[in-house]
Amino acid sequence: MSSTKPPLPTLLANHWQRIPVDLTDPETAWILKLAVSGADGWALGPHGPLHDRGMTLAEITSGAVREALLHLLELGLIDIDTDRLRTAYAFPLRREPEEPRP
């Protein structure tokens, strides 16, 4: 993974340059597997949607993402760049569309 971060946009509506992520890199795959493990553990556990069938899709998605992110943070595998967060004017709310998989 690249350790160089692109500059932040200088205006609210400007495009955010993304850090390239190589999904074929074994280390990236390992980190993704750990994140998925955290999400799966929540989904299959006592507080997940298998035991609370009244959850909406949004609640299920939020819970899984929250658990995956917390899992990686608690393991010390990712650090949040709070200076970068405070400096940014706004944030894109979605990832850019993925290229179709072969």
- How many Cβ atoms sit within 10 Å of the Cβ of residue 13? 7
Q: Please report which helix (H) or strand (E) contains residue 43, including its range.
A: helix 26-44
Question: What are the residue ranges spanned by the domains of the chain?
Answer: 26-80
pLDDT at 49: 92
pLDDT in tens, 24-77: 999 999 999 999 999 999 999 998 998 888 899 999 999 999 999 999 999 999
> Would you say residue 100 has pLDDT above 80?
no
Handedness of CA 21, 85, 57, 47 (dihedral sign): positive
Is 15 in contact with 93 (CB distance < 8 Å)? Answer: no
pLDDT at 5: 87
